[in-house]
Structure 1
């Protein structure tokens, strides 16, 4: 394996394991935790939306500082430390607004981590024979391990299990960042030329962001209510964990071959195909979720819905933007797609779900947004998205 003997890559792999392992705890099970605290589906959707909004402001602020100071690692470490401190407050709050504050602050600091980690990883692997996908796949492995473990914990213990595990994982994440060995780079002179928006407003980048936002809107039903949906269909917490882990396991295979796929098919083709198949995935969940095999097929498509789209997106931003703007480019992607798109998707799904009675219409709506994202790619040429512009 390419990572063997390279301590920098190993530490990055561990950091990805912990970062996405934490997502494997909260993304599937936050709804169950909040349900256990007595919140309605509308409350859950609204809380998801409010805390997701924290992803709009945070990434740009953190990435701007990281790009201008050249100290991406310092920003990432500070974000990890403040994340675990603020998240610990969930043990002291029980009201809607108290938990919203807790999760919102946690998310604000959490957004300091990934853009910097992605840039550090891309710059580190550029000097080795490893690929981004070979490092990133360990995040998927972490997601699988912790999703299955917490799913079992929910069967054995209480709906509070996810938050107890989260505190431990976040603490270890902070420790892992202390061992990342990548020298801080000097701030680029390009910072004086203009802001990230001179690139973001160009058609290929703007279309990419819009399509990505549509994808994240479509994920609202899945992120907020998949675990509750499976419970309503009669599956145990452990089975739900296995379903989710299956989807992420498929991601691992995609990450191993993502670079080859990008080189062969290009950014535009892969995004278009992934968004169309994601639309089909949500419709299958809407109309045929009673069938076990449909859940399996749906979760396998997750390799494209999340894994391939993420690898392609990181590649696109890295090759489209000058080095001095890459952290901010990642931040724009996270802020608009995951922040605005995710918040709207979570809120809309929460309003539609109605304790599971409107599961069909909620997932059909998700399918429509994923299809809209695919169709939006027709607004720019394949060539403009597959090659870097003249800066």
Structure 2
């Protein structure tokens, strides 16, 4: 029989499994789905950007509500239910405007649930926060299985069948949230008298620099999320191979998560961030120069462990470091809003415009440049050990 300590970890892991399985079916293939309607690069960039647009507002709004009410798990359940209900409208959308509206509708709720679930997970773990990677790794497992399976499935079926795969995964996310119990680990009783003001925490120079770095990291992923799959398809890669290349990157992320606890014990957050940013530069340069060559491209995909995996964990850890418990919901939401939201949206739109003008090389070169700017900012400003958190 599973102990009470094991059961929550299984259920928490299940959320990440299904959430990132949905992402694995969405991000690599949604641009191909949009391409099937005859949309060009600029329109695809805008519509892909819609997936990120609601992350600018939704996570902060729901994070504020969760911190205020203390009903964090209830908000996650409501958001996941509303997401799949809104997504069903996509089956009647065949024009860019309607697809964009449906995307805004379902993503407003879908983008809100992950930051709050991150807080729930970390509160379940308590002092064992280094175990976070052991739970989060199941998100990578879900992504790998989904991206590979969907790729081969879309080789057999028309790409217009993709929304059915996505709908099933959204429903599974919602069903999983019903298994996570609400207790003191997830319900913090709302705002208390000892709560501190949020804005002064955000305005600290090191925190501002941290959020700008997060923005630049996700901005740099814009060409990858929006045009990596169409670029490979144009180079005569099959959808099955495209799926395997996406899966390879996340497999490297899984390996990183397995050893992440030791990495965190032996390296500072600052050093992990800087090394990961330099590896991100290398990844985008190789992708820009050698997309037609499978071996260099596969090696570049392995660097996803650094450009996303390591930097994501560092970001989560720094939010926990910079913000006290009563503001962590808003802190995680702002991390999502400015990085995945604003960075993802602007990165996708700019990538679409650059791709229309010059193709993949200048688009991925821009990604590398964004990471170089992030390196400069991190080198100057990110010194977590020097931050004094005076919450009084």
TM-score, normalised with respect to structure 1: 0.95
The residue number in structure 2 matching 1:91 is 91
Q: Secondary structure at the match of 1:189?
A: coil
Q: Give 1:212-231 correspondences, 5 Å limit.
A: 212-231=214-233
Q: Show the 5 A alignment for 1:122-271.
A: 122-126=122-126, 131-183=131-183, 184-189=187-192, 193-194=196-197, 196-271=198-273
The count of corresponding residues between Structure 1 and Structure 2 is 387
Shift of 1:5: 6.7
Shift of 1:50: 3.3
How far the C-alpha of 1:51 sits from its partner, in A, is: 3.7
Change in Cα spacing, 1:264 to 1:3, as seen in structure 2 (3 Å) is: farther
User: Which residue, 273, 282, 285 being the options, matches 1:283?
Assistant: 285
CA displacement 1:116-150 (0-9 Å, x = unmatched): 11011111122669700000000000000010111
**Residues of 1 paired with 2:103 and 2:334: CA distance?**
21
Matches within 5 A, 1:6-85: 6-85=6-85
Q: Identify if the C-alpha distance between structure 1 residues 136 and 127 changes in structure 2 by more than 3 Å, giving closer, same or farther.
A: same
Q: In 2, Cα distance between the equivalents of 1:211 and 1:3?
A: 41
Distance of 1:322 and 1:129 partners within structure 2: 15
Q: Does the Cα contact within 8 Å between 1:190 and 1:324 map onto a contact in 2?
A: no
Secondary structure of the residue aligned to 1:142 is: helix
CA drift of 1:202 comes to 0.8
Relative to structure 1, is the Cα distance of residues 335 and 128 closer, same or farther in structure 2, using a 3 angstrom cutoff? closer
Which structure 2 residue ranges, 5 or more long, are not aligned?
Answer: none
- The superposition leaves residues 366-389 of structure 1 with CA deviations (integer Å, 9 ceiling, x where unpaired) of 11111111111123153546x562
**1:68: Cα distance to partner?**
1.2
Question: How far apart in 2 are the matches of 1:296 and 1:125?
Answer: 35
Which blocks of at least 5 consecutive residues in structure 1 are unaligned? Answer: none
1:291/1:68 Cα in 2 relative to 1: closer, same or farther (>3 Å)? same
> For residues 95-106 of structure 1, what are the structure 2 equivalents within 5 Å?
95-106=95-106
The offset of 1:292, in angstroms, is 1.3
Q: What is the match of residue 371 of structure 2?
A: 370
C-alpha distance in 2 between matches for 1:197 and 1:32? 41
Distance in 2, matches of 1:313 and 1:188, equals 24
Assess if the C-alpha contact under 8 Å between 2:12 and 2:121 holds in 1: yes
2: CA distance between counterparts of 1:328 and 1:5? 27
Write the distance in 1 (CA, Å) between the matches of 2:3 and 2:39. 45
- CA–CA distance in 2 between the matches of 1:158 and 1:123? 43
Alpha carbons 1:155, 1:238 under 8 Å: kept: yes
Distance 1:114 1:191 in 2: 26
TM-score by length of 2: 0.94
